[in-house]
Amino acid sequence: MLLVIAEAVIIFRQRKRYAAARNIILGKRGSSIKESELETKQREYSFNEIVKMTNNFDRILGRGGFGTVYHGFIEDIEVAVKMLSLSSVQGYQQFIAEVKLLMRVHHRNLTSLIGYCNEETNIGLIYEYMANGNLDEHLSRKNNREKSLNWEDRLRIALDAAQGLEYLHNGCKPPIVHRDVKCTNILLDENLHAKLADFGLSKCFAADGDTHVSTIAAGTPGYLDLEYTTSNRLTEKSDVYSFGVVLLRIITGQSVIIVREDTAYHISQRVNSMVAEGDITKVVDSRIQGDFDRNSAWRAVEIAMASLSVTSAERPYMRDIVTHLKDCLAAELARKHNFCDLQNEDSVEQFSVNLISTDMTPSAR
């Protein structure tokens, strides 16, 4: 009898959570999202349509606390379908937070919401598909990708991610803190253009003039701002810290945490020791094989280390980071342009030498 009662309570609570989810998605009373707003920007799909577009959920792209992400097609357009798990309370809360945020933000460096499913207990979100997966897959030395990212690729990805964060901090009123910036949450399309994803932990300031949000620390170890973990005061500089870790990963290709002889070493500690040697080629990912602008690389390392300052007040703002990364990219493009010019000059000189050394006398016929 007790087991039956317990099961009934669990089922009731799950249904209550799902009812709340539907209310928020459809904009019923108690939600800040209007139904008309949802209908004009995103389309509602039935569960049968979800089954059809995912070919009965046959290809999994990823899993998380919220549930599972599947590959699908809407006509000939590839999409990613995130379905909410029946049992995950954490996933439910993150799912709702993501819905709320994606209804109000639109930027080329943030993943786009295409539609949603809201049918009984089948609740899901449909996003644009990012063909090149996440950044972590490209930086990990265990990945099976044939070609590693070159220096220009890395700078462009860093700049894209920085511009997405800068929009959340300065383009949204009131500002939004992502709260879980990491390489697995930076997705890449077929042209390696980067977009921030997974807004389940994001927090919005109560008012435009606010400087922080008081909340229990959440995020990913290694990327998490130490000042935030001790004070529980979340600011935009917490995202800056996490981005600094991402930038070091982009530069070095190394893991965030390495354990040696029972001691854990953070990537910033390892980079600090390498910087002290004064040789930038030992800092930058060896897979690039030295093919990068030295000044650009030093500048990128300086940006990353400044972002990781222990005190948040000493960290730059995302708008400043965007400016500096544009300078880094410009320096690398200039180097490549000059290299091409030199190659062209060498080709012209070689062609001239060949003309002079060639016997120009007509051959006998």
Residues designated as active site? 180
CA atoms within 13 A on the CB side of 8: 5
Instruction: Count the residues in the chain.
Output: 365
Cβ(130)–Cβ(77) below 8 Å: no
In degrees to the nearest 10, what's the CA dihedral of 227, 228, 232, 237? Answer: 120
| DSSP structure class, residue 167 | I
34-to-28, 31, 116 alpha-carbon distances in Å: 7, 8, 15
The reply, when asked if residue 16 is annotated as ligand binding, is: no
Nearest-5° Cα angle at 71, 65 to 73: 140
Candidates 285, 259, 256; CA nearest to 268 is 256
First CA to last CA distance, the chain: 109
Instruction: State the amino acid at position 319 in one-letter form.
Output: R
> What are 134's strand-pairing partners?
187
Q: For 73, phi and psi rounded to 5 degrees?
A: -130, 135
229-to-175, 211, 215, 219, 239 alpha-carbon distances in Å: 20, 17, 10, 10, 13
Question: Which parts of 255-293 fold into alpha helices (H)?
Answer: 267-276
Q: Extract the annotated binding site for ATP.
A: 82
Q: Extract the annotated binding site.
A: 82
